[in-house]
Structure 1
Amino acid sequence: MTLVELAKQLRPIIEQAVSTALDDATALQSVPLFPAWAEGCSVQAGKRYRYKNTLYRVLQPHTTQVGWEPDQAPALFAAVTLPTEGSKEHPIPAVRGMEYIYGLYYLENDTVYLCKRAGEAEGGKVILQYLPSELLGQYFELAE
């Protein structure tokens, strides 16, 4: 058996093993090891899949379909991110489908945004399929 054949044989086993076993920090260093999101697959809550070079966690079991891609379905997927300070000086990199925390700062294309919404307490969370620049005045304001 060649190395390429062995790698093809082991790939599904590796994908299954890493999909829930690794902590988020290690998983984010190993995104190519995770199975790619694909249409028509039955997915379970807690499993992680890669989509457009971003790692996403399944929030509720479902069968994948067009229109429910991880960056378009915040009720079904959340981007896996590392907890960082979230201060103005150390903002969290923003990606589609991530869980945002009210009162923390996020970075998108060299611009810093504060996650803030009238009537929402600091520390509250929301999963959004949009980037801060797309929700300016609704969920975000420019950091001063």
Structure 2
Amino acid sequence: MAEMLALAKDKLRAQGMADAAALAQRAVSGEVGNAELLAGKSKIPTWRPRSFLTPETPVGKPYQWEDIVYKLLQQHDASSQPDWTPDKVPALWAAVSPEESGTRADPIPAVRGMEYQYGRYYLDPEDSKIYLCKRTGEMDGGKVILQYLPHELIGQYFEAAQP
């Protein structure tokens, strides 16, 4: 009986690893939308200091950090940099946001290190206010990765939404 249980656990573990690899591959190729990626969060590995310079860690591969899913933007070696967590290094990581419409009525929850889109509305988790991503000289639809929350960049990248 113990052998059967061990075999079943091994089979489940192998299936879980295969499912995680398939999800990561689809994320890298762009076949997976944010909603599907977030729904499969339990299959996404947790970030830890390691080399992200390997063929197993291509740009676009998702990792979790503090319950947020991030995609790798640039390969790098963090094996000796434990403080290079995804939330701290926006040049290397982008937070995956839910696929809300980004309208005033359906704002996107903001997180540090996420990719913001000009012309969309964001809900700031620290002050619970809604902000429009807007910058002089930038067209709606353009994108920028910011390490800050909207209330910290009023007048630069955001304006408070009118009630």
TM-score band by shorter chain is 0.7 to 0.9
- C-alpha change, 1:135 and 1:67, in structure 2 (3 Å) is farther
Alpha-carbon separation, structure 2, partners of 1:68 and 1:119: 32
Could you tell me which runs of 5 or more consecutive residues in structure 2 were left unpaired when the two chains were aligned.
none
Structure 1: which amino acid aligns with 2:68? T
The Cα of 1:5 is off from its aligned counterpart by 4.3
Partner residue of 1:76?
92
Partner residue of 1:39?
49
Alpha-carbon separation, structure 2, partners of 1:66 and 1:136: 31
Partner residue of 1:18?
23
Structure 1 position 123 matched with structure 2 position 144: no
Of 120, 138, 154, the residue aligned with 1:136 is 154
When the two structures are superposed, what TM-score results if normalisation uses the length of structure 2? Answer: 0.77
Partner residue of 2:116?
100
- The percentage of counterpart residues that share the same residue type is 44
Please state which structure has a larger fraction of its residues in strand. 1
Specify the SS of the correspondent of 2:138.
coil
Contact 2:102 2:120 in 1 (8 A): yes
Instruction: Find runs of 4+ consecutive structure 1 residues off by over 4 angstroms.
Output: 7-11
Alpha-carbon separation, structure 2, partners of 1:79 and 1:94: 9
Specify the SS of the correspondent of 2:115.
strand
Specify the SS of the correspondent of 1:122.
coil
Which of these two proteins has the greater Rg computed from alpha carbons? 2
Structure 1: which amino acid aligns with 2:123? L
Structure 1 position 111 matched with structure 2 position 120: no
Count how many residue pairs are aligned between Structure 1 and Structure 2.
Answer: 144
Please, which moves more after superposition, 118-127 or 31-40?
A: 118-127
Specify the SS of the correspondent of 1:62.
coil
Specify the SS of the correspondent of 2:155.
coil
Contact 2:119 2:140 in 1 (8 A): yes
Alpha-carbon separation, structure 1, partners of 2:63 and 2:26: 13
Could you tell me which runs of 5 or more consecutive residues in structure 1 were left unpaired when the two chains were aligned.
none
- C-alpha change, 1:89 and 1:137, in structure 2 (3 Å) is same
Q: CA RMSD in A?
A: 2.1
